[in-house]
Amino acid sequence: MIDRYALPEMANLFADAARMQRWVDIELLATDAQERLGVVPAGTAAACRAGAPVVDSGFVAAVADRETVTNHDVAAFVDVLQRHIGMPAGAYIHHGLTSTDVVDTAWCWALRDASNLIIDELEKLIDVATDLARAHRTTLMIGRTHGIHAEPTTFGAKVALWVLQLRRDLARWFAARDAVSVCKLSGAVGTYSNIDPSVERFVGESLGLVPVPATQVINRDRHAEFLWACASLGTTAESIAIELRHLQRTEVNEVREGFSRGQKGSSAMPHKRNPISAETITGLSRVLRGNLQAGLQDVALWHERDISHSSTERIVLPDSAMLAFYVTRRLRNLLANLEVDAAQMRRNLDLLNGVVYSQSALLALVENGKSRDDAYRIVQELSRRSLESGQHFRDVLVSSLDVDLTKESIVSIFDETRVVANAGRAVDALDD
């Protein structure tokens, strides 16, 4: 992942040193368990821990150098680790294990921790969005369908629906975290041929991971579920971002991204104030969905294992975790600093001189005895007349010979509080 989108707390989980430190920890825990079983000589585990190196850039470089000989990253890692520990204790590192025991358990450990970071950030985003929805519970604006003015709604109702979708993403994240919080140390084809199942249980309990039946690899539907959670969250963020981009367009101008002191919207045009956060979120969501496709293709492997998934996962798993985390934080900051122009919302609501109440007029005519089709045609024509003349729709209705409504009915048609009386249900749902 490029540095621009790699926030340090998430990026650090996937750094080479962090990855190899997890490998060391798993190897040491497995040695602890095997000594308890009497498989390795007494004192071996303590000697291995005493000799275990600090996993730093030097250690990573030594493994990379050794890999030029072994052409196998885990084999190179084991060689370097054994060399640091020394003999005879070092000979028992990786005893009874296959490389995927270490790699898959380490992957799941990292993805579990990544899930926790994303869940925490998502909960903060939900809090910010919830506050925004409640603050604008009664802020009137025009609702749009197909990009065209439809009927009044409230900005609070719009944001509340975002929150409810983000909460569903949160539920998906809890499920994804459970799916990847597993481990396997069951040997070459998953049959525990040279390692006791109690070793797996001991390592799992030590790391907070659940042992699961497996072949040589943990089933990749779990990893695909993690990538689905990333992609789903990114898609939700994109749907919010696209709405904000539309609402910030010059012709609409109902919301604006926060603009910090000294910020520049364009290198050429000083007046520009662009929705760059929303556009960035939109773009990164495309990457997340693309990575999901690769993850889904990784589920089908040959027999008890192949490594067609391995090269893919080295890219898509860390990149998706980092992007999902980045997008969530970027959206939280966007909503926390969002400028909502209620006065402009009011102006846009009134832009079409009341024709947005056409459905209310239609229903009033039906209730007054006209057939629906006749009422529809009357209101359609009067709406056209209002739009073309610039005359308020109310006045057009009152002057029409085809409309025989009481003064009270006319007033009710244009009563905006009646139209949005139940719009707050979406905001109320946030308390459920």
Q: Which of 135, 187, 172 is nearest to 156 (CA)?
A: 135
Is residue 30 a contact partner of residue 203, using CB atoms and an 8 Å limit? yes
pLDDT in tens, 193-207: 999 999 999 999 999
d(CA 285, CA 245): 15
Is residue 216 a contact partner of residue 224, using CB atoms and an 8 Å limit? no
pLDDT in tens, 297-349: 999 999 998 999 999 999 999 999 999 999 999 999 999 999 999 999 999 99
pLDDT in tens, 69-79: 999 999 999 99
d(CA 19, CA 376): 67
Is residue 97 a contact partner of residue 31, using CB atoms and an 8 Å limit? no
Q: What is the CATH number of domain 1-95?
A: 1.10.275.10
d(CA 416, CA 414): 6
Structure letter (DSSP) for residue 71:
S
Is residue 217 a contact partner of residue 119, using CB atoms and an 8 Å limit? no
CATH fold, domain 97-346, is: Fumarase C; Chain A, domain 2 (1.20.200)
Is residue 100 a contact partner of residue 305, using CB atoms and an 8 Å limit? yes
pLDDT at 217 over 90: yes
Max intra-chain CA distance, the chain: 104
Q: What is the pLDDT of residue 345?
A: 98
- Domain extents in the chain: 1-95, 97-346, 355-413
Confidence band (pLDDT; 50, 70, 90) for 262?
A: confident
Read off the pLDDT of each residue in 134-157 and give the average, rounded to a whole number: 97
pLDDT at 265 over 90: no
Rg of the chain taking only CA atoms, in angstroms: 30
Residues that are catalytic: 146, 266
Computed from CA positions of residues 280, 285, 290, 291, in that sequence, does the dihedral angle turn out positive or negative?
Answer: positive
Residue 265: exposed, middle, or buried by beta-carbon count in 10 A (0-12, 13-18, 19+)?
middle
Confidence band (pLDDT; 50, 70, 90) for 403?
A: confident
Confidence band (pLDDT; 50, 70, 90) for 287?
A: very high
* CATH of range 355-413; options 3.40.1280.10, 1.10.10.10, 3.40.50.1950, 1.10.40.30: 1.10.40.30
